[in-house]
Structure 1
């Protein structure tokens, strides 16, 4: 693939592009997270919980409904009909991604306030998760244990334009539930996520990222600089044309990458030759990511885990439940 503006010829984004358009925004991820953990489903509750402006919240809820992630349901309150929003099946299937983000932060991102702890109801332990292969049951699985083959137009229109200006939440460091700002530099921005995807697929040089993605040089230089500062990429062969490699911290982001790809290609249909095919080398079958309990080794289900806020008194349990109308 050559040139700086790759296209599919259909104008339709790839499945991964559609997924990033749907969830590649920090406010969107936080709205979904609060719906899972706190069962928030009403406008005022999201506004007060996250400290969002009403205009930004209204915009994101509209996008989540249009994207099939939230379902509006009317309810009656004080004689008036109002709207609440319930997670759809498509959104519910994001729960492993939310857990994997938490686990990556636990390993790599220092924060002033402790993260909630994950408890596994089956074994009774406070635990962490490890990435496994649902095809054969093996765990743990790392990026080195897989092989990824992309279609000729995988990156075509992945980086579709945002619906809105990017906004930043200022109080995340004081919120024990929120993802850390460093995480959002990697995940809450469409260019960042795609640049990381290209790195997982072996792109190493500035010119290679530019050719593959069609990203503006100034944007690419900024993201590569920040990734290097964050310790996600390291620049070998320093000089005018450095070679970038994923560090251990960057490679460990593979679980998040794998869940995004799996979810995207399950729920969205892209143009021909735009999918990624990830294979687990040990079993030779398609790699379908799953999460296992690091304490007992059992596969995790959404209904069998909950978070515990470490500073809550009495202990506050946050279950990955789903609000029902």
Structure 2
């Protein structure tokens, strides 16, 4: 179920509203990594209340990321299968894994490329010229309606309090959840990628309450995602590296979600002049990584 483009919400704003939630990301991660498909499977795998799980699954079905499929097991039961739109989020989740591997010190399970038999260690590249790509290699032009004031939605989910995850070998690390675990955090970082630096400019761009903005900026400085220099919040190398995730979020949103004309972003890879078409390449063989050709070597 797509949101009505007449509502004025950009595709990126819709994506933030759908994916900017810790439980949604963990549900999707388990669907890809552990092939969980049932309500009971997620209930047993995650420290989540039944009401929250039911609500998130309903939303993901509504957004055509999961579809309900009936099957027989003595009686009719239902499982949640990823749709083509949902399967297309695989690259985004791998990009999160790649950033965690490089910037959080977390020891991740080896990610193996079946075609070459080596550890893949994915990296972001331009889909046109296949050269490595970073935030510094891109130029972004906003559509005339691509203002961050159009991103906001009424608050859908209570922000998860830090430190309530417990011991979970598969969970995303706290750094990732501070950035992606709620809509405002991700929006603040997106605005930074587009050149916003000062508190008053973030507030004007996002239409965000000063107390919420103060909290997100403080946390980003603590995480070494931003550094504060003479009143400017500047992206650190760690923050700039998160562009890999942002690129796949923007690409997915603008391909999959209907939005008003003029509300999008045009991101260009400056060295070759091509529009953003992010791909993940294997460090060992430099070939594109496809979902069916890789696997995690889980303990």
**TM-score, length basis structure 1:** 0.87
The answer to whether the 8 Å contact 2:225/2:239 transfers is yes
1:243 aligned onto 2:232:
yes
Q: Which runs of 5+ in 2 are unaligned?
A: none
1:146 to 111, 126, 138: 138
The answer to whether the 8 Å contact 1:118/1:126 transfers is yes
Q: CA deviation at 1:170?
A: 5.2
Task: Please show how residues 127-166 of structure 1 align to structure 2 within 5 Å.
Answer: 127-138=120-131, 140-154=132-146, 155-166=148-159
Any idea what the Cα deviations from partners look like across 1:36-64, whole Å, max 9, x if unmatched?
Answer: 11111111111001122111110101100
2:84 to 89, 94, 98: 89
Rounded to whole Å, the distance in 2 between the matches of 1:110 and 1:12 is 40
2:100 to 105, 113, 118: 105
Q: CA deviation at 1:171?
A: 6.2
1:210 aligned onto 2:207:
no
Task: Please show how residues 20-99 of structure 1 align to structure 2 within 5 Å.
Answer: 20-78=16-74, 80-99=75-94
Rounded to whole Å, the distance in 1 between the matches of 2:233 and 2:52 is 36
Rounded to whole Å, the distance in 2 between the matches of 1:174 and 1:106 is 18
CA RMSD of aligned residues (A): 1.6
Task: Please show how residues 163-242 of structure 1 align to structure 2 within 5 Å.
Answer: 163-168=156-161, 172=165, 174-237=167-230, 242=231
Rounded to whole Å, the distance in 2 between the matches of 1:19 and 1:36 is 19
Decide which structure has greater helix share. Answer: 2
Rounded to whole Å, the distance in 2 between the matches of 1:10 and 1:35 is 32
Task: Please show how residues 276-291 of structure 1 align to structure 2 within 5 Å.
Answer: 276-291=265-280
Change (3 A) 1:219 1:168: closer
Q: CA deviation at 1:173?
A: 5.9
Q: CA deviation at 1:281?
A: 0.4
**TM-score, length basis structure 2:** 0.94
Q: CA deviation at 1:264?
A: 0.2
Rounded to whole Å, the distance in 2 between the matches of 1:152 and 1:211 is 16
Any idea what the Cα deviations from partners look like across 1:54-79, whole Å, max 9, x if unmatched?
Answer: 1111010110011110000112223x
1:124 aligned onto 2:111:
no
Q: Which runs of 5+ in 1 are unaligned?
A: 1-8, 313-325
Rounded to whole Å, the distance in 1 between the matches of 2:228 and 2:188 is 15
Rounded to whole Å, the distance in 1 between the matches of 2:149 and 2:263 is 7
The answer to whether the 8 Å contact 2:6/2:259 transfers is no
Q: CA deviation at 1:192?
A: 0.7
